[in-house]
Chains A and B, each alone.
Chain A
Amino acid sequence: MSGFFSALLSALDPLCGPVGLFSLFGSGSIVACGETGWGDEIAFGVKVTITLALATLPVGLVIGFLIALAAQSEDKLLRLAAGIYTTIFRGLPELLTLFIVYYGLQILIQAVLASFGYAGRVEINAFFAGMAALAVVFSSYSSEVLLSAFRAIPRGQYEAGDALGLHRSRTMLLVILPQLIRIALPGLTNLWLILLKDTSYVSVIGLADILRQTGIAARVSKEAFFFYGIACLLYLILAMVSSVGLGFIERWAKRSEGRR
């Protein structure tokens, strides 16, 4: 059964499958799939980029939601703590955040291990570091989007939840969250597109994403313009595909709104 699924997946592979982009247009050329061309390496890079973005999204959204909750709480100290978080991570360049997380986590883990008596060198996974850095940046932006969505929901909704005898958490889950998603969706769509572009930074710390793979191909084959053009094209296609997909989600989220 799993063999069938993997066969189906490889048949539907949009880049290197039998009806893939590189197989149709690039066979025999420099972007062919397989030993002779760079097609399969670039296809791997596309997979890494998409995986990284998809893995970052839920983490960033959850942290962003918690930060937004903190930022609209009645407690002054909690608001201050959330404010510090968003100020720092919205003010730092993404590239710098990435380096700080990448080297900082390494130093931190090394220090913790050293206190247990382990003295070897630690190197953390570039994928994990990239995910952590992007999630931090994404969460600080998404918290702002979610916060303004929270402010758009009238108090009466909470009071109605109380009047129905719902517990606070049930009110949040059943009454507030569905409206919140609908209001915040356009802003989150923007942030997703930004996240997709920001994944390109992880190529700097050595993760084999689209930009790194095309960069290697460009350096080896001396066809820099062609390969970086392909990289731009792939990002463009990813953006187009995701805006089509997000359009569907937006229409789905709006299905309960009255027709105007």
Chain B
Amino acid sequence: MSYVKELIPPRAPPALIGRQLAPARIAGILVLLVWAALAIALVFMMISGWNEDKFLRYGPRYLHGLWTTISLVGLAVILGAVLSAPIAFARMSKNKALNGLSYAYVYVFRSTPLLAQLFMIYYGLGSFKPQLESVDLWWFFREAWYCGLFSLTLNTAAYQAEILRGAIESVPRGQHEGAAALGLSKRNAFRKVILPQALIVALRPYGNEIVLLIKGSAVVAIVTVFDLMGETRYAFSRTFDYQTYLWAAIFYLAIVEALRHLWAFIEARLTRHLKR
């Protein structure tokens, strides 16, 4: 019988092969360098082009524009939510006429550009001045701000109606049946059982819709509303300074990012009972 008499002597570990630089890492570093270069160029541009006179003249205008954008979007979201509820219910109703009408509304407003809708309302309806004056609505359609608010509201109502409908229809049938079995009236079942579940589903799409509306609201600048974009265009037309657009970009990014984080926080807070 043979057996091992001598143990193999301990040997040094194999030479360490240096960690190879993967192509992905190189690409990542390169792209990050590009971003860093852009950021440095941005900062450099702002420092070298710093002009206290311009800052004092246009800074307050920017803040005013920011306020206009925020109030415009806030009002449009609220009014759109109010308007979207009947549309969503019409869309879910069994009545053919109501259903068709609301479907047409949603389809038209979702598949034409916001800019075209705005022109349609501001310039198109504005060409009916005598008729509008006779029904005492001219004060509304004369002001670009009201027209902007009106078109943003109509636009977001179409999107919000679809969000609401999708969310309500996503609640399983068993919930309706369970509420009926408990003897809840249709009204109460909707208010206390269906709607709370639906709104949690709708939370994320609503957040996306608000972000889209903030971005979309920039178009009102084209019909002479001095929102953030409008003030930017004004400042650019006066100074021909490219920085004006960069400042607007910073403002918009700040609003959108703040809203996104706020929304993530709200969602985490409201769905904490669903976490396992």
A residues sitting closer than 8 Å to B (CB atoms) are 70, 73-82, 84, 87-88, 90-96, 99-100, 103-104, 107, 193, 197-201, 203-204, 211, 215, 218, 222-225, 228-229, 231-232, 235-236, 239-240
Contact partners of A80 in chain B: CB under 8 A: 28, 32
A232 pairs with B108, CB closer than 8 A: yes
Q: Is B166 an interface residue (CB 8 A)?
A: no
A236 pairs with B253, CB closer than 8 A: no
Contact partners of B125 in chain A: CB under 8 A: 225
Interface residues of B in 261-276 (CB under 8 A from A): none
A70 pairs with B27, CB closer than 8 A: yes
A235 pairs with B242, CB closer than 8 A: no
Contact partners of A94 in chain B: CB under 8 A: 215, 218
- Of all chain B residues, the one with the shortest Cβ separation from A73 is B24
With A74-B24, A232-B108, A236-B112 known to touch, is A215 a contact of B119 (CB < 8 Å)?
yes
With A91-B256, A224-B124 known to touch, is A81 a contact of B113 (CB < 8 Å)?
no
B116 pairs with A84, CB closer than 8 A: no
**What size tier do the contact residues of chain B reach?**
35 or more
A75 pairs with B25, CB closer than 8 A: yes
Contact partners of B78 in chain A: CB under 8 A: none
Main secondary structure of the interface of A (DSSP, over half): helix
A96 pairs with B120, CB closer than 8 A: no
Contact partners of A235 in chain B: CB under 8 A: 111-113, 116
- Of all chain A residues, the one with the shortest Cβ separation from B259 is A91
A96 to B211, CA, bound (A): 15
Interface residues of B in 1-56 (CB under 8 A from A): 22, 24-25, 27-29, 31-32, 35
Contact partners of B222 in chain A: CB under 8 A: 95, 204
A236 to B112, CA, bound (A): 6
Residue-wise interface mask of B (208-227) relative to A, using a CB-CB cutoff of 8 A (1 in contact, 0 not): 00010011111101100000
B242 pairs with A103, CB closer than 8 A: yes
A78 pairs with B116, CB closer than 8 A: no
Contact partners of A79 in chain B: CB under 8 A: 28
Main secondary structure of the interface of B (DSSP, over half): helix
- Would you give the shortest CB distance from A235 to chain B, in whole angstroms? 5
A96 pairs with B119, CB closer than 8 A: no
A225 pairs with B35, CB closer than 8 A: no
A96 pairs with B24, CB closer than 8 A: no
Partner pick for B257 among A70, A91, A199, A228, CB 8 A cutoff: A91
B252 pairs with A93, CB closer than 8 A: yes
- Would you give the shortest CB distance from B35 to chain A, in whole angstroms? 6
Most buried by A among B111, B249, B253: B111
Partner pick for B128 among A70, A193, A225, A232, CB 8 A cutoff: A225
- Would you give the shortest CB distance from A246 to chain B, in whole angstroms? 13
- Of all chain A residues, the one with the shortest Cβ separation from B121 is A228
A37 to B242, CA, bound (A): 40
- Would you give the shortest CB distance from B112 to chain A, in whole angstroms? 5
A79 to B221, CA, bound (A): 35
With A75-B24, A100-B245, A198-B113 known to touch, is A229 a contact of B124 (CB < 8 Å)?
yes
A232 to B252, CA, bound (A): 28
B111 pairs with A75, CB closer than 8 A: no
- Would you give the shortest CB distance from A238 to chain B, in whole angstroms? 8
- Of all chain A residues, the one with the shortest Cβ separation from B120 is A228
A222 to B252, CA, bound (A): 36
- Would you give the shortest CB distance from B63 to chain A, in whole angstroms? 17
B119 pairs with A95, CB closer than 8 A: no
Contact partners of B248 in chain A: CB under 8 A: 96
Q: Is B156 an interface residue (CB 8 A)?
A: no
- Would you give the shortest CB distance from B250 to chain A, in whole angstroms? 10
- Of all chain A residues, the one with the shortest Cβ separation from B114 is A197
A200 to B219, CA, bound (A): 11
- Of all chain B residues, the one with the shortest Cβ separation from A87 is B257
